Amino acid sequence: MRSLDSNVFVYAYYKPKRQLNQVEMEMKEQAKKIITGISRGREDVATTVINLSEVANILKHGLSTEQLTQLILSLFMLDNVRVYGVTREIYFAAAELGGD
């Protein structure tokens, strides 16, 4: 099982106002392939409610409320996606690990 970070969604769905360079275009295409693979059940992934909140906060500027709601709800409905809550203890443990 892989960790699914919010940046994958941002690259896949965000519509920038400026022209993307070649590297950014390739990253966007890779992100779309990852999302497609997940939505078709080809890969098991885990994410957190924090990551989904980040996705919603960033993509609310480019997607309609209906599109964004459908995106988030569809993740919860996929059998191959695990969405974990975050306790205070888990948050501080992760922050401690990030400081190493």
Whether 98 shows a pLDDT value over 70: the answer reads no
Question: What's phi and psi for 88, nearest 5 deg?
Answer: -55, -45
Token pair, residue 99, equals 């400081």
Q: At 99, is the pLDDT very low, low, confident or very high (cuts 50, 70, 90)?
A: low
Whether 88 shows a pLDDT value over 90: the answer reads no
Residues 69, 72, 16, 32, CA torsion sign: negative
Q: At 91, is the pLDDT very low, low, confident or very high (cuts 50, 70, 90)?
A: confident
Q: What is the four-CA torsion angle of 52, 42, 29, 46, rounded to 10 degrees?
A: 20
Question: What's phi and psi for 58, nearest 5 deg?
Answer: -80, -45
CA-based nearest residue to 83, from 60, 61, 63, 56 = 56
Q: Is 92 helix (H, G, I), strand (E, B) or coil?
A: helix
- At 63-85, the pLDDT tens digits run 899 999 999 999 999 999 999 99
Whether 100 shows a pLDDT value over 60: the answer reads no
- At 9-50, the pLDDT tens digits run 999 988 888 899 999 999 999 999 999 999 999 999 999 999
